[in-house]
Structure 1
Amino acid sequence: MRFARTKRVLRLKTIDSCFEDLKESRLVEETYTADEVSDMLEGLQAVVRGEVEMELINTAHTNVLLLRQLFSQAEKYYLKLQTDVSELENRELLEQVAEFEKTEVTTTNKKTSQDVSKPKLAPLNEGGISELLNKEIARLQEENDKLKTRLKTLESQATNALDEKCKVKQALKDLQSVQTDQESSRQSQEITNLQDTVAVLKEDFQKSMNATCTSQKDLQDTLVAAKHDLLRVQDQLALAEKELEKKFQQTAAYRNMKEILAKKNEQIKEIRKKLQK
C-alpha cells in the first residue's frame, strides 16, 4: 500500500504539473474565444487522459507481478489458492482498506495498540510446511478410509458370489439327484416288468413241462429265446441309460447350469485379482 500510495502521489503531482504548465504557457491573455478555450481543454484532456491511462496500466501490471510472486511461492509449497472477484467491489471492505491506509498515513512509523492487534500472515517457514504436511496426512487418511470402504464392498461382493456359486452347485446336485431318482425308478419298473415276464415264461414253461414231455425241446428253445430277450432287454436298458444321460447333458437346464457355473468362476477370478491388487 505504501508503494501504491507513492506511485499515486507521483502521478497526481504529474497531473497537477499539467495544469500548471497550461496556466503558465497558454493562459497569458485576459480574454479568449470559445475555440481557443476548447482547444486548450482538448489538449489538457489528452495529456491528463494519457497520464491516467498510464497509471491504470502500470497499476494493473504491478498487481500482476505481485500476484505472480505470491502464486510462485504457493506453487512451491503445493498450495491451492482461490480468488473471489466479487469481493473486489465490496464497499465495506474497500472502506476498511481506506481506513487502514488513512491510519497508516497518520501514524507513520508509530506502532499503536491497534496495529499490534491486527492479524498478520503466517510466514512460509517450517510452521507452514508442518501445516501442509498435516493437511496432506489428513487427505491421505481420507483416501485410506475410502479404500477401506471399497475393500469391504469388494469383500462383500466376493462373499455373495461364493454363496451364489454354492447355491448353484447345490441346485445342480439336486437336479442330478432328481434325474437319478427318475432313472432308477424307470429301471426298477423295467426290471419288474422283466421279472414278471420271466415269471410268466417260467410258469408257461412249468405248465408245458407238466403237460407233455415231448415239447421239452420247444420249451428249452423258448427259455433260450427268453434269455436272449432278457439280454436284449438289458442291452436296451443300458443303451437307454446312456441315451438318457446324453439327453440330460443336452438339456437347456444342464447347459444353463454349466454356463452359470463358468460365469461365476470367471467373476470370482476377477474379484480375486482385484482383491490381490
Structure 2
Amino acid sequence: MSFADTRRSDREERRISPVFWVLLATMGTAGWALWSGFGSTGFGVFLFVVAGWMVSLSLHEYAHARTALHGGDITIGAKGYLTLNPFKYANALMSFVLPVVFVVLGGIGLPGGAVFIERHRIQGRLKHSLISAAGPLVNLVFALALLIPVGSGWLDQLPGTVEIGAEQVGALPAALGFLGLLQLTAAILNLLPVPGLDGYGVIEPWLSPQARRAVQPFAPYGMLAVFVVLWQSQVNHWFFARIYDVLDLFGINTVFYAQLGSYLFRFWSH
C-alpha cells in the first residue's frame, strides 16, 4: 500500500458518519421547533431528547475509542469506531437500544459499553483506567454545556413556550434541562464500580487476577442490575433527590426545567 493509499484509508476511518449527521440534524431541527414554538411541544421535546441522547451515546463511545487509540490500540480505526456511527459499535442492543428504553421507561440515563478494545495492545494500568473514564467524562461535559445556559437564565425569554398554570415557560430550556439531567445521571451511574460499567473498568486494572476472574461472569448483567435497583421506589427517590441537589448548583430554575422537560417528554401519557 502506498503512502497516499494509507492517508486515504486513515481519512475514511475518521470520516464522520452520515448517521451521526442525521442525529445532529434531528436534534437541531427539534431544538429550532421548540425555540420558535412550531408544532407539538411534547413531541418536539421527545425528538430533541432522544436525538440528543443518541448523539451523547455516540460521543461517549467515541471517547473510549479515541483514548484507546492514543493508548496503543491501533485497530480502533479499522473497526469504524472513530466515525461516530452508532451501528459500528459492538453491541447496539446494550449501547443504544436499552439506554433509550431506560430513558423512556424511567427517565434514567445509563449508557452501556460497546467498544471492543484490544487491551493486550495497551501497556500500563493508568491507560486502561483512562480509557474507561473517558466516556463518563464526556457525559459530564455534555451536562455542563446543557445545564449552565438553563440555570443562568439565558434562555428564559425565547418565543417557544408552554403554559404552566398562569405562566408561560420556555419549552427549549425544559428539553435542555431534562437532557442535562440524563447526562448527569449517566456520568454518575456509569462511574459506579459495578461490573459491566465504566466505573469498574477504571478500577479493574488495579485488582488482582483472581478478583478479576471472580467478577467477570457478572459483567454482562451490571447495567441491568443497576436499572432494576433504581426501579425500586425508595432507591429511585433517594437517587434523584441527590441528582436534584446537584442540579440546584446550576441555578434556581434548573430542577424545575428538568422536571418539566421530563413531563413533556412523556407526551403520550397526558
TM-score of the superposed pair, with normalisation by structure 2? 0.23
Larger Rg: 1
The two structures have a TM-score, normalised by structure 1, of 0.23
Which structure has the higher relative contact order (CA within 8 Å, separation 6+)?
A: 2
Compare the two structures and name the one with the higher helix fraction: 1
